[in-house]
Structure 1
Amino acid sequence: MTLKRTAPLVLLTAAALSMTACAESQRDDSGGSGGGSADSNVKDTFTFGAAGAPELFDPLYATDGETFRVTRQIHSGLLGIKPGTADIQPELAESWEPSDDGLSWTFNLRQGVKFSDGTDFNAEAVCYNLDRMYNQKGAGQTAAEYWTYFFGTFSDDPENSLYKSCEAKDANTAVVDITRTTSSFPTILSLASFAIQSPKALEEGDANNVKAQGEGFTYPDYSMNPVGVGPYKLASYDEANKTVNLVANENWYGEAPKTKNLVFKIIPDESTRRQELQAGSIDGYDLPNPVDWKGLKDAGNNVEIRDAFNVLYIGLNPERNPKLKDLKVRQAIAYATNRDQMVKTQLPEGAAVASQFIPPAVSGYNESIQPYAYDPEKAKQLLQEAGAEGMTLKFAFPTEVSRPYMPDPQKIHAAFTKDLQAVGIKVQEVSKPWNGGYLDDVSANGAYDAWLLGWTGDYNAADNFLGTFFSSPKTNDFHTNVLPWGQQLSDDLKKADAIVDEDERATAYQDLNQQIVEKYLPAIPVSHSPPALVVSDKVEGLVPSPLTAETFDTVTVQK
C-alpha cells in the first residue's frame, strides 16, 4: 500500500460498519523468547532485497510501501490482516463491537502486552496514540497523509473528521467514537499507518515535532528510534551500507520469530536484486518482473504469486472529449479492446479480464457480471449510431514505471491502440513519466481523453475502490460531473457505504457494480493482475499477502 497513488485522494465522506469480529487472535500467548531456532541447519538471519530505503520508522508519517514493509515488522495495530488474505483479524484488540448506531466501538484489548521498551500496552496507550494522530498540527498534518485520506481532518476541523474521541474505560477496554458510520471502520485500523506505539517513547522523542523543509519534511529523533509491539525491533539503520537491521523483540507477546535477525538490504535496481538472489547474498525480493518468473523458477527459486487485489482500467474524460458523453461511444471502446488477448500476452500467470472495478476478493463483487466481449463489429455499429465514426482519442500511458497491474504500460497501450484503430478510432498517442507529471495530468489537469491507470486496494471494502473512483463527481479523474448520472452515482455509493448490515451492504454494492458497467460505464475495467515476490528454495514459512502486507516472523532460512 502506498500513497504514491494511482487515483486522487478522496476523503471518506460516507460510511458503514465493517466486521463486528469477536474472533480470538491466532497468535501464541506463550510470549517471545528472543527469537531464532535451535535447529543448527537454520540460519539466524533472513535478508530481503528492498527496492528503496525507508524514509523513517514512525508509520504515521509514512507514505510508501518500502517504509511500511519495515515498520510492519516493528509495530502492531489494534487490528491485523489474516495471513494470505485481505481480511482483518484480531491483533492488539482481541475483539470489538459497535453500538447499535455504529458510532461507538468498544475494543477489548489483549492483556499482558508490553512495548519493546518494556512499558505496558493498555487502553490509555491506545487513546494516547489515536489522540496524537488526531491532534497533529502544522506540518504534521501535511505529513500524516494516511490519516487525512482515511479520517478526513484533524482536531482543528472536527466537523469533517471521522474520528471523534477515545476513552480508556478501563485498562483493557478502549471505546472509540466516530462521527459517521462507514464500511471502512474499524478495518482501517489494520493499516500500518495507525499502529500503536509506546507513549513514553513518543513523548521522550518529541515525535510530533515535524517541520516543513522545501517540498519535504524534517522529522524528530523518535522517527529513527521506533518503539512498537511488533515481533522485531530496530537494531540499526546503516545508511552508508544501505541496510536496515532488525532483531527479535524479546517483549513480543506472541511466539518468538523463527529467525532472530531480519535485514533489509536496499537495492534499487530490479536486475541487481535478481543477481544478488542468484548469488545468495539476499534470500528474496519483491515484485520480480513477470518476464523473469520462469527463469527464477527454473533456477530453483520460489516465485510466490499473491492473489490479485487490484484493477487496471482505461480512464475516460467526457469533459475534455464530448463524444465520450455518449454511452454508446464508451461501450464501443469496451467492445473494441481485446482485453482477453492483452491479458494472455502482456500480464503474468493468474491475471484475469475484469468485469467490474473491484477484484473478486472484495465484498460486493458481482459474480453474475460478464466482461464486455471483444466484438469489433459491435463497436463499429455503436460508433456509427452515435455519429462518432472517425473520432480521435488523445490516449496516454505512463513511462518510467512498472506497476503490478501494468508491468509494461507501453506494450499494453500499443495493443489497445491497434484495437481502437481497427474500428476506426484515431489515436493520438501521449506519454509522460509516472513521477514526471503523468499523475498530475490525469488527476489535476484532465489532460487526456483516455489513459491507462489502475489501483491496488488498501483493505477489503468496496468503498476503497468504488468510492475512491466515483464518489466525488466534481473532483474524480473521470469527470462524471458532466454526465447526467454523476451525482446520482455518488449519492448511491455513499448510501451503500453507510449500510450497517454487512450482507445488505454487499448486495447494494453488487447492484451498483452492475449499474456502473452496464448503465454508466465511466471507464473501461481491463484486468486484475497478481503481483509476486520471490525467495530462494532455502526459505520456508513465508505467507504471501494480496495487500503486500507480509510479516516475516514465521520465516526460516536453511543453511
Structure 2
Amino acid sequence: MIPGFRRALLPALFTTAALALAACGSSAAPAADPAGTPQAGGTLRFAVSSDQGCVDPQQVGSNDTIYSLRQIVDSLTDQDPKTGELKPWLATSWQSAPEAKSYTFTLRPGVTFSDGTPLDANAVKANFDRVPQIGARGTLPKGYLAGYAGTTVQSPTQFTVSFQQPNVQFLQGTSTHSLGILSLATVAKSDDDRCASVIGSGPFTIQNYVKNASLTLAKRKGYDWGSTLFAHPGEAYLDTLDFRVVPESGVRAGSLQAGEVDAIGNIGQQDEAPLTGAGDQLLARPNPGIAFGIAFNQSKPIVSDPAVRQALSLSINRQEIVKAVYTSQTKVATSILASTTPAWADQSSLVAFDLAKAKSTLDAAGWAPGPDGIRAKDVQRLTVPLGFANNAGSNKPTLELIQQQAKAAGIDVQVQELQIAQTPQIQASGDFSALWGNLTRADPDILRSSYSVAGSNYYRIPQSPLEPLLVAQAAEPDTAKRAQIVAQAQQVLLQQGFYVPVVELTTVLGVAPSVHGVTFDASSRIQLHDAWKSS
C-alpha cells in the first residue's frame, strides 16, 4: 500500500474475518510441503518492481519494500492469517486492562539484536517512545500508537504500554512490521539515517543496500526466537535473500521463466498463463485494509465538491477494470474496506457503476458539458489531477481506464506519476488534489488512522458524522458491537464521497517450482523464515 495510502494512504504503494492463503487461486494452508525434507543453504533471488528508498520497517508502507524488511525485525505478537488470532512472538503473554487503556507484556528472555545488545523491555520502550517523533514516513506506527501515554518498565522482561483513551486496535498493531522492534542504536538515529541502515533482531540482517537497485540480506546466526506460527524453530533455512528492483512486469516474468530469479512480485494479468505453463507457482492472497481507490484533498477546489466525488465514483465501471487489467484472483471493491478485513460490510450499492446518474449528479450541481464534452462551472473546467506511484504494474493502466470512463461523464482526470519516495512528503504538504493507492492492515481501525480529523488529516476532511463513529469503534472492546459501528463508518465515508474504492488488492507472487515454504502473514506480506530451495 505505499500499493496505497497512509494515515493518509501512501499512494499506490500500499499500501492488513476470514483470511486464507490461495495458491493458483485455490484455498490452501502453508503447513505441509509435498517437496520433502527442507534443505538448508542457498540464495533466494526475488525481483520486485520498486524500492521505497528506505530500509527502516517503521518508515515504509510499500509492499515491495515490506517483502524484504519484514525479514529483519521481530514483532511482539504474530497474527494467524486463518483466524486473525494473535499468537506469541517476542512476547510470551500479554494482558489488557478492562478499559483497554493499558496492556502488560511479558517478553521472551535471551533475545538479542544482531549487534549483540539485548532486546529487553527498555528497548521496546525506546522504540515506542520514539515512534510519535518520526516524520511523515512514520504514519503507520504512529497510528497504531494513537493516544500513546508512555511505557512503564517493571523488569527486563515485563512492561506496560498505556494510552490516554481506550485503544482496542493496538494489540493487532503489535503484530505488524511497522511496530517491529529495532535496536537502541537504531532508535537513536535520525529518520534519514535510519532509512540507510537499521539493526533488528529478525532471522535475517542487512548485508548490502543499493538504493533503487538491490537489497541483500544474510541469515542471522543463532536466531532462536521466531514466531510460534513459524513452521520450524531456530535459524532460517536460506543463507541469503537477494531482492532486486526490476520495474518492468514482463522482464520480471521473463527472468523467472529463464531461471535468473526464483520469485517475483506484482504479477501482471498477461503473466499468469505463461508462468503456470512453465511450471511456476502462483501464490496469492487478498490484502485486508483499504481497497485500491481514490482519496481527495478536500481543501482543494473542484474535489471539495461532493457532487464531483460522487459522480467520479458513479462513472467508474469496476468490473471492466478488473477484467481488463488484473489477475484472475482479483475482486472489485464493495466498500472502502477490502472483504478480507475484519468488520468489512458490503456497501456494493454505494460503489455501483451508473453513468446516467453520474451525469445527472453533475447537472444538478451546476457542472455543464462544454464543447469537448468536459464539464465546467463558473468558467472552471472539471479537471481532477490524480497522482499515483508506479510501483505496481496495474496502477497506470487502471488509471488510464478510469480516465476514459470518467471522460464519458464529463470529468477530465489528469493522471500524474509520482516518485514513491516522495509520496509521504506530498501528502503531508497537502500539495495534491487526489491520490491513488491502498493501505493494508488486518484491522478496521485503518479507517480512523486514515480519516479521523484528530490525526494527521492529510485529506483535510471537515468535521462530519464520521468522526464520532471512528472514535467509538476504537474504544469498543465488544467485537460484534465494534463491527456495527465500523459498518456505519464505511457507509458514511462512501455517502460523503470521502473515498472512491475501485478494486481489492490481491498479492500474487510468481515462484519457481524449486522454492518451498513461502508463506503470507495476516496482512498478506511474505514470511521467509521457513522458505527453502530444493536442488
2:122 aligned with 1:150: no
Give how far 1:508 is off. 0.7
- In 1, Cα distance between equivalents of 2:458 and 2:197: 36
The worse-fitting range, judged by mean Cα deviation, of 171-180 and 407-416 is 407-416
Secondary structure at the counterpart of residue 74 of structure 1: coil
Quick one: distance in 1 between partners of 2:157 and 2:401? 53
C-alpha contact (below 8 Å) 2:81/2:522 kept by paired residues? no
Aligned to 1:261: 239
Question: Are the equivalent residues in 2 in contact too, given 1:307–1:530 (CA < 8 A)?
Answer: yes
Instruction: Provide the residue aligned with 2:343 in structure 1.
Output: 364
CA-atom RMSD in angstroms: 4.0
CA contact (8 A) 2:48 2:243 kept: yes
Equivalent of residue 218 in structure 2, options 246, 250, 275: 246
Q: For 1:351, what is the secondary structure of its paired residue?
A: coil
C-alpha spacing 1:471/1:340, structure 2 compared with 1 (3 Å):
farther
User: In structure 1, which of residues 401, 416, 421 is the aligned counterpart of residue 390 of structure 2?
Assistant: 401
Cα drift, residue 78 of structure 1: 0.7
Asked if the contact 1:79–1:92 (Cα under 8 Å) also holds between the matched residues in 2, the reply is: yes
Check whether the contact 2:71–2:528 (CA below 8 A) recurs between aligned residues.
yes
Aligned to 1:226: 199
Match for 1:434 among 409, 418, 426? 418
Question: In the alignment, is the contact (CA less than 8 A) between 1:77 and 1:189 conserved in 2?
Answer: yes
Q: What is the TM-score normalised by the length of structure 1?
A: 0.74
- Equivalences for residues 502-517 of structure 1 within 5 A: 502-517=479-494
In the alignment, which of 96, 103, 114 is matched to residue 94 of structure 2?
96
Residues 203, 529 of structure 2: 8 Å contact kept: yes
Long gaps (5+) in structure 2 = 10-30, 227-232, 370-374, 377-381
Q: Which residue of 2 aligns with 1:184?
A: 169
Q: How far has the Cα of 1:362 moved from its partner?
A: 1.8
1:338 to 317, 323, 344: 317
In the superposition, relative to structure 1, how do residues 45 and 465 fare at CA in structure 2: closer, same or farther (>3 Å)? same
Report what 2:230 is aligned to.
Answer: none
Q: Find the aligned partners of 1:330 and 1:245 in 2 and give their Cα distance.
A: 44
Is the contact made by 1:50 and 1:66 (CA closer than 8 Å) also made in structure 2? yes
User: Following the alignment from structure 1 to structure 2, what is the Cα–Cα distance between the partners of residues 447 and 171?
Assistant: 46
Provide closer, same or farther for how the CA distance between residues 550 and 87 of structure 1 changes in structure 2, counting only shifts above 3 A.
farther
CA contact (8 A) 2:280 2:512 kept: yes
Q: TM-score, normalised by structure 2?
A: 0.77
Name 1:275's counterpart in structure 2.
Answer: 254
For 2:298 and 2:203, the matched residues in 1 are separated by: 50
Larger of the two Rg values belongs to structure? 1
Q: Bigger CA drift: 119-128 or 183-192?
A: 119-128
Structure 1 residue 311 and structure 2 residue 291: aligned?
yes
Q: Of residues 439, 443, 462 in structure 2, which corresponds to 1:456?
A: 439
1:524 matched to which residue of 2? 500
The Cα shift of 1:283 comes to 0.9
Distance 1:439 1:414, change over 3 A: farther
1:326 positional shift: 5.8
For 1:247, give the aligned amino acid: K
In structure 1, stretches of 5+ residues that fail to align are 11-27, 29-36, 153-160, 212-216, 421-425
Change (3 A) 1:466 1:295: farther
The CA deviation at 1:444 is 4.7
In 2, Cα distance between the equivalents of 1:172 and 1:109?
5
Which residue in the other structure is 1:74 paired with? 72
For each residue in 1:96-138, what CA deviation from the matched residue of structure 2 results, as whole angstroms up to 9, or x when unmatched?
A: 221122222111333454545566544344334434556x6xx
- Residue 155 of structure 1 is matched in structure 2 by none
1:69 and 1:480 map into 2 onto residues whose CA distance is: 32
Distance 2:156 2:193 in 1: 35
Q: Distance in 1 between matches of 2:402 and 2:322?
A: 12
Alpha carbons of 1:83 and 1:7: their partners in 2 closer, same or farther (altered >3 Å)? closer
Are the structure 2 counterparts of residues 412 and 112 from structure 1 closer, same or farther at C-alpha, using a change threshold of 3 Å? Answer: same
Is the CA contact 1:397–1:413 (under 8 Å) kept in the aligned structure 2?
no
1:107 alignment counterpart: 105
User: Judging changes above 3 Å, is the alpha-carbon distance between structure 1 residues 272 and 93 closer, same or farther for their aligned structure 2 residues?
Assistant: same
How much does 1:556 deviate?
1.9
* Equivalent residue letter for 1:428: D
1:76 shift after superposition? 0.5
Secondary structure of 1:487's aligned partner = coil
Q: For residues 320-378 of structure 1, what are the alpha-carbon distances to aligned partners after superposition, in whole Å with 9 as ceiling and x for unaligned?
A: 55697465x65554444322222222332222232321111222211365354433344
Residue-by-residue CA offset, 1:55-98 (whole Å, 9 max, x unaligned): 66554455655554333222201122335787643211123221
Identity of aligned residues (%): 20
Instruction: Please say if residues 353 and 527 of structure 1, whose CA atoms lie closer than 8 Å, have aligned partners that are also in contact.
Output: yes
Aligned to 1:6: 5
In the alignment, the residues of structure 2 paired with residue 400 and residue 537 of structure 1 have an alpha-carbon distance, to the nearest angstrom, of: 31
Indicate if the aligned counterparts of 1:346 and 1:412 stay in contact, CA closer than 8 A. Answer: no
Residue 170 of structure 2 aligns to which amino acid in structure 1?
F
Which of 346, 355, 358 is residue 376 of structure 1 equivalent to? Answer: 355
Aligned length: 491
Secondary structure in 1 matching 2:292: strand
- Summarize the Cα distance change of 1:87–1:353 in structure 2 as closer, same or farther, 3 Å threshold: farther
